[in-house]
Chains A and B, each alone.
Chain A
């Protein structure tokens, strides 16, 4: 095992792996936020009284949670470009060859799957808000939007925080799958390094440590956020 391969600069792969880690963080955050937006929408559908919306949201979470992410990635990677080209040709009359950028492909795939988990977390958090709070807000004459932003949002975000922390860990780990379609994040960079130096263990071990670092640091961040969000809340 030749650790000098991992030094910073032209001689080693330290800087490449570091930038790979930044790419992992970028794509993970983008998919995570996309997933939360998605999850909020689908949670609203799951809580709606219209059975059809409920069914659609149920189908979405069932499909995403029952089919491997890798398969979804292949679908979007091989199919996304065709859809984009069809839209470009049909709507804008643009006939040149275009393809979905890998970053967007990855963000969509990981975001979809992260969104399915966020949906359940957010739905649970909404149901956890005591109904009496809403009644009280109505009793003092708050408008609907005020009730939403002053009563519901602060409490839902507090209840959802631990679950969303778990979703973040899942999302971060899932980004490694995007390496199969060539986005140069940690895993892909390790592949390239392993291929050109014939030292696979060194590089995959470095990748392992990078992921370990990212998850540990972000886990600590979420714990902090939780204790910040729960300041002033009575402990049992």
Chain B
């Protein structure tokens, strides 16, 4: 263990946290808006629109993110003249733009399925009641469908956010120096993977731990009635052990 190297390199890795966080935050927030649009298209009665949305989701969910990033960043270079002629080349030559674009589309596809599941889980009686009191379509979506759907979808969406934070590491493959990019640079210069891995890994774990906490807190805040008899982590672990012991007793 080379502690000197660890002390030397942690400020560099820490300095990359904003890069990772801003990549994640911008793609998650834009992706959420994309996802709402896509899920509404997917649920629309128009067959064409819903098929287009289905195709988008299918394409992005069944191919690796790395291919999507490379296709957008390196692939756009093949059509440089075309992009220059319509004035978009200034965007596509930037690694940042390409990384955020691909991450956004990717999370948009995954999140739209999560939101769709949430919307479909809204009890029909609630919508009927809203219609009966004369709510307009927009008001109904804003006041009834969306709030219920978001509560249903929140746990799955929390997982998606964590996956996205992990996915931002792929931006390091197109020259962006996020935490993983810096880590890779230091590792290949010093050949001390363990030390760097520990620091970088701890940073990612902390970020993701905070996110799970925030999501959990949001869940409780949005539907407190479900969490009245919440247990501490240690207590649930102990009970899990007891439950396992009971199960094994049965097996014996």
Q: Do A and B come from one complex?
A: yes
- Residues in A lying within 8 Å of B, measured CB to CB: 1, 47-51, 54-55, 58, 62-63, 65-72, 74-75, 77-79, 82, 131, 134-135, 144, 147, 169, 173-177, 179-180, 187, 190-191, 194, 198-202, 204-205, 207-208, 211-212, 215-216, 219
Q: Are A201 and B71 in contact (CB under 8 A)?
A: yes
State whether A51 and B172 are in contact (beta carbons under 8 Å apart), knowing that A67-B201, A176-B64, A204-B74 are contacts in the complex: no
A144 to chain B: which residues have CB within 8 Å?
251-252
A67-B241 contact, Cβ under 8 Å, with A62-B205, A74-B184, A215-B62: no
Nearest CB in chain B to that of A69: its residue: B166
User: Contacts A205-B71, A211-B67 hold; do A68 and B169 have CB atoms under 8 A apart?
Assistant: yes
Let me know if A179 and B180 touch, CB within 8 A: no
Closest-by-CB residue of A relative to B200 is: A71
Given contacts A66-B209, A212-B62, contact A51 B169 (CB under 8 A): no
**A contacts with B: majority SS:** helix
Residues of B159-195 at the interface with A, using a CB-CB cut-off of 8 Å, are: 162, 166-170, 172-173, 180, 183-184, 187-188, 191, 193-194
Q: Judging by beta carbons under 8 Å apart, are A212 and B79 in contact?
A: no
Q: Please pick, from A74, A179, A216, the residue contacting B66 in the complex, using a CB distance under 8 A.
A: A179
B237 interfacial contact with A, CB 8 Å: yes
| In the complex, chain A residues whose CB is within 8 Å of the CB of B78 | 1, 198-202
CA distance in complex: A176, B70 (Å): 11
A201 interface neighbour in B59, B75, B166, B172, Cβ under 8 Å: B75
B187 touches A78 (CB 8 A): yes
Which of A177, A179, A208, A211 has the largest count of B CB atoms less than 10 A from its CB?
A: A208
A51 touching B250 by the CB < 8 A rule? no
Interface string of B184-227 (1 = CB under 8 A from A): 10011001011001001100110011000000000000000000
Complex-state Cα separation, A174 to B238, whole angstroms: 35
CB within 8 Å for A187 and B250 given contacts A48-B244, A70-B170: no
- A211 to B248, Cβ gap below 8 A? no
- A51 and B238 in contact, given A67-B166, A75-B197, A179-B66 (Cβ under 8 angstroms): yes
Bound Cα distance A74, B172 (Å): 12
A82–B195 Cα distance when bound, in Å, is 14
Cα distance A177–B194 in the bound complex, in angstroms = 20
Tell me the B residues contacting A by CB distance below 8 Å.
59, 62-68, 70-71, 74-79, 162, 166-170, 172-173, 180, 183-184, 187-188, 191, 193-194, 197, 200-201, 204-205, 208-209, 237-238, 240-242, 244-245, 247-248, 250-252
Chain B hits for A199, CB < 8 A: 78
Q: How far is the CB of A79 from chain B (nearest CB, A)?
A: 4
Q: Judging by beta carbons under 8 Å apart, are A74 and B166 in contact?
A: no
Check A174–B64 contact: CB distance below 8 A: yes
Contact for B193 among A51, A63, A75, A205, CB less than 8 A: A75
Tell me whether A173 and B64 are in contact in the complex, defined as CB-CB below 8 angstroms, given that A47-B247, A70-B180 are known contacts: yes
Q: CA–CA, A86 to B47, complex, Å?
A: 62
Cα-based distance from A72 to B198 in the complex (angstroms): 10
Which of B71, B77, B172, B252 has the most chain A CB within a 10 Å cutoff?
B71
Among B64, B237, B248, point to the contact of A187 (Cβ < 8 A): B64
Whether B251 lies near A147 (C-beta < 8 A) is yes
Q: How many angstroms from the CA of A190 to the CA of B70 in the assembled complex?
A: 10
Complex-state Cα separation, A43 to B240, whole angstroms: 13
Question: Of all chain B residues, which has the CB nearest A148?
Answer: B251
User: Which of A49, A58, A70, A211 is B64 in contact with, Cβ under 8 Å?
Assistant: A211
Is the pair A211, B62 in contact by a Cβ cutoff of 8 Å?
Answer: yes
Are A201 and B76 CB-contacts (below 8 A) given A54-B241, A174-B64, A187-B66? yes
| Interchain CB contact (< 8 A) of A194 among B74, B197, B209 | B74
User: B173 — nearest CB in chain A belongs to which residue?
Assistant: A180
**Alpha-carbon distance A113/B93, docked complex (angstroms):** 33
Q: Which residue of B lies closest to A77 (CB)?
A: B193
Q: How far is the CA of A31 from the CA of B79 in the complex (A)?
A: 37
Given A68-B204, A134-B251 in contact, is the A49-B170 Cβ separation under 8 Å? no
Evaluate contact between B204 and A216: CB separation under 8 angstroms: no
Question: With a CB–CB cut-off of 8 A, which chain A residues contact B252?
Answer: 144
B205 to A66, Cβ gap below 8 A?
yes
The complex places the Cα of A190 from the Cα of B244 at a distance, in Å, of: 49
- Identity of the chain A residue whose Cβ is nearest the Cβ of B77 in the assembled complex: A200
Q: Give the top 9 A-B pairs by smallest Cβ distance, nearest first.
A: A68-B169, A201-B75, A176-B64, A49-B245, A78-B193, A215-B62, A200-B74, A201-B78, A79-B193
